[in-house]
Amino acid sequence: MNTDELAFVNRQLAGMLKAGIPMESGLKKITESMTDSKLKAQLNQLGSRLEKGQLVDKAVVDLDLPETYKRLLALGQASQSMPKVLICVADYYERIGTLATRLRGLAVYPMLILICGIIVSGLMAYLSVVLKNDLVSITQTAEGDTGRAPWFSIYGSVWFSVFPMFVFAAGLGVYSFILRSQKMRKYFSWKIPMLRDVALAQYASLTEVLLSSGAPLPEVMKMVSKLENGSEMEADLKKIEQRLSEGQASYEAASRGCKTIPGFFNWIVSQGGEDVATGFSHARSIYSGRAENKIQAFLHCFLPINILLIGILLLGFCLPHLAILTDLLNMIEQLGM
């Protein structure tokens, strides 16, 4: 779902609520100006349910909207501060949208490299299959048995010609599977440093917006742990939630001994003192900046390194063909003499 569009809708809706326009009427007016999309259909359905008198927490049930968004709307209804919550929601999805855009850009680079590798290696394989046998037979006929090394016969195989293309295609298949698998994305989000910083920035941003919307810290940690179900951070979040429910007075005390959430992250949050939302705001700002810097560094290093690796692979594939062409040129030169 388009997070930028969702953020824009909620900012508009917050302004309408402040002006005294009911939420159902505001949704109806906003969706009229939207292009056909999944988000428009779901918001239309939400507005229809609200017009029938359903409360927000009941109206969002079974809608195909982000679970975080549905929980925040229910929180806004419970706290009687829906405009404030909607603005917090808009800020949250704008930040998430910015990070998501950076990650999508990051994900495109390897895919482009692999696709270009398939195209180039495919063209070379085609030329190899079409021309190689003729060139080899011509040079061998003209020069006789040149006594080439046994390994050179490998290059006459069709399988050798198409091998690079299969390598790139397999790499593209594995990469596409990782991108499409939520489980794999969660796994790698904690194995790659820059993705780990993105995950921590999202955690800080979500917790900040929930606290700013008026939810108490124990309830916030419970909601976040449910939303992070299956991630590496889930065990730490449940531990923090349990300690807070048992009477721990502060996030700093409840977060001691976390295995996945870094101690530095929890230390930043604790610097906010009793204002935990401010602490999470600082953590979000720091880890977002760290993620941005690491993404930039990766992009600057990734492209040259991959071009070099692909160049080495294709060069190894081309050398036998160059050898055959060199023999052919030498033969032509000898015939000319």
The DSSP line for 267-310 is: HHHHTTTT-HHHHHHHHHHHHHHHHHHHHHHHHHHHHHHHHHHH
pLDDT tens profile 241-290 = 888 888 877 888 888 888 889 999 999 998 888 888 899 999 999 998 88
* Residue 325 CA: distances (Å) to CA of 25, 118, 132, 154, 164: 75, 24, 9, 17, 20
pLDDT (tens digit per residue) in 222-254:
888 877 777 788 889 889 988 888 887 788 888
| Closest residue by Cα to residue 211 from 291, 97, 91, 94 | 91
| For residue 322, pLDDT beyond 70 | no
In terms of pLDDT, which residue wins out, 183 or 233?
Answer: 233
Tokens matching residue 312? 């080495």
Q: What is the pLDDT of residues 2-56, one digit of tens each?
A: 778 888 888 888 888 888 888 888 888 888 888 878 888 888 888 888 888 888 8
Q: Among residues 247, 214, 241, 248, which one has the least CA distance to residue 227?
A: 241
pLDDT of residue 335: 65
| pLDDT digits 0-9 by tens, 195-208 | 888 889 888 988 88
209/76 Cα distance (integer angstroms): 11
